Chain A
């Protein structure tokens, strides 16, 4: 998988000027007038789970962030000094500092910089971001919601800290090559309303596909790390390659036997209908979703119940 990507990047390298045109970052030039709503910004913060990757876990660990003994989980998730490491088949990424510190964080960023990072995956200096930062889903967020989130992040404590550099194979360190990946797998358009759905389901779909980025773990990927759209939310190998993420469509192996209430209850408490508890990466996600208003969890549940039954990839025997 990694070799393939490296090959692609190298191939692209010899493509010359056509390549340079194709991979040039595209950005949003102007923003709508908007008065930020901090409460909605905080809601987007929890829906997006920013603190799970950027939160300064006191214990620096590579897999799951963890609070210091006796420390409140909410507190560390709001200390956005970065540093959590994400192991992927492409190498190891370190979530950067996104606290409002002016030197090491994003304290000097404009709203436009921030919108372009989340909705286009492009840095203020024009470089592409790696999709380990799930802008591939955040791109669907409404610009107003992103602006509210930006205003909210500015209210959090500035922390001076630099995250380590990503550890990637050489050709992958060349960010321009990501333009090609984006060309293949990244769509720029925002959230498209679907009039055939109820307002509740639509709100749920927005939360699931946009800020909630559920598909980043629950949708299987092809060899180059792009979503397999025909198996949307149908489960597959964990992004870190260690486990298996379950199917959450209405397939019998998915959530067919869960009522909407069961789903909303599980997202609030972490307890499944058989009163087992969530484990692995879903614990972080659930604990973030628990901070949302109950209506948001009900909307997510209604949307998941409206999905068709989709079979996921066959799970290999361990």
Chain B
């Protein structure tokens, strides 16, 4: 009985920790939603990357907006990994996410922090953007290395 209560508490506790798991989203939608968020991160990264490569002229406002877009993603993103969305063939999310959710969330928090810091300097010219961009994109590799399946 005591064990059962512990288990119940644990289950409830986990529910709280993950927050209101995007209520009403079916598994498929959860996956689509998190992929959509990551696509927006990719697009914002491209906006800045092409400025730094000289493919498009540096644009202070667009660079700040791109950093802000990315800063807005992690908090939403980490809520889109309910247990039942593990191992789905349409997703590249690795099982490691559910095995080490704490570290996964920490990497997401780090992305948010570096994007916020980036937003405050990205408007100060290409050199300032470059420094922030390099720091920002370390987060992508760190997370994709362990938590995204290898394939293209």
Contacts and interface: CB of A to CB of B under 8 A. Distances in A.
A275 B141 contact: no
A287 to B, nearest CB: 8
Contact of A277 (B53, B137, B150, B152): B137
B127 interface: no
B42 A274 contact: yes
A281 interface: yes
Interface string A267-311: 001110011111111111011000000000000000000000000
B144 A246 contact: no
A271 B42 CA distance: 10
Q: What is the predominant secondary structure among interface residues of chain B facing chain A?
A: helix
A267 to B, nearest CB: 13
Contacts of B137: 269-271, 277
Given A270-B140, A270-B141, A283-B145, A276 B151 contact: no
A238 B150 contact: yes
Interface string B117-152: 000000000000000001001001110111011111
Contact of B150 (A274, A275, A280): A280
B20 interface: no
Interface size range on A against B:
20 to 34
A281 B152 CA distance: 13
A58 to B, nearest CB: 15
Contacts of A276: 42, 140
A124 B146 CA distance: 36
B141 A278 contact: yes
Contacts of A192: none
B45 A271 contact: yes
B141 A279 contact: yes
Interface in B45-61: 45-46, 49, 53
A286 B137 CA distance: 13
A74 to B, nearest CB: 14
A2 interface: no
Contact of B141 (A238, A244, A283): A283
Nearest to B47: A275
10 contacts: A244-B151, A246-B151, A275-B43, A277-B141, A278-B144, A279-B141, A279-B144, A279-B150, A282-B150, A283-B145
Given A64-B146, A277-B144, A283-B145, 18 more contacts: A64-B145, A242-B149, A245-B150, A265-B53, A269-B137, A271-B45, A275-B45, A275-B49, A277-B137, A279-B144, A280-B144, A280-B149, A282-B150, A283-B141, A283-B144, A286-B141, A287-B141, A317-B89
